Structure 1
Amino acid sequence: MARIRSWQARLLWIDCTAGALVGVFLLLLSPWLARLYGLPLGLLRVNAAANLLYASYSFSLARRAGRPMRLLVLLVCANAAWSVVCLALVVRYWHDASGLGVATLVGESLFVGGLAALEWRHRHTLARG
């Protein structure tokens, strides 16, 4: 039980680290990735900014000892919403994006949707810190 609980307690750190890494990666490589993915440069820069803003929010929660439930619910809602946004982008850019661009958006949707589900499931553990 302690092993599972330890993993649950690190979930927010996984979340903020992933968001920060994706944000920095997209910010630094957006011109190259725009060509590789067949997606607009501006879209990748907005995606980078969203990931960095999200990462800072999840980091602010990860470092707290006790977390208000409403802030955790907001985090879950943000992840769920971003998952839907990524799928909407797949629909919007289906004919323009490369296969890798579509796969990346689908992968991001699945990843953040999975985080939303895990954070919702373990919200009480996360609230206790």
Structure 2
Amino acid sequence: MTRTLQKMLLATLLVAGSSVIAGEPVNEAMLQRVASRMNKSLPQMESDNTRLDKITVGPGLTWTYNFTLVGLDDSHGTRKVIEANAPSIISKFCSLPATKIFLENNIITHMQYTDHAGKLVSDVLLDRAKCS
């Protein structure tokens, strides 16, 4: 998980945390509002080959980071690289203090990677079960 994504996740959780502190329940509508705010600063390059295009929500308590692998497709072995790094991504996600609200509220998080043509290359699932 890159520093930019960590910062975005922290900012997202701060906004979500503020909503919870104000008494608003964590639900799909609340996540939609938070994602809408975050999407105003996207797309954003995460690395030379990875662009975070948008955050989508739903159905229910599902939060998805949508990445494009710029100039790459699976012929580069990209799927294998992402899958090999998935345990590290999951470990970082589970250990970040900022993810607490996601885990406590059973928000299912995906990191979806598509190639430059929009074809799904990989989907890393991050949820409470992966953190135990």
- Give the TM bin, normalised by the shorter chain: 0.3 to 0.5
TM-score under structure 1 normalisation?
Answer: 0.33
Larger RCO (CA within 8 A; separation ≥ 6): 1
Answer with 1 or 2: which has the greater Rg.
Answer: 1
Greater per-residue strand proportion: 2
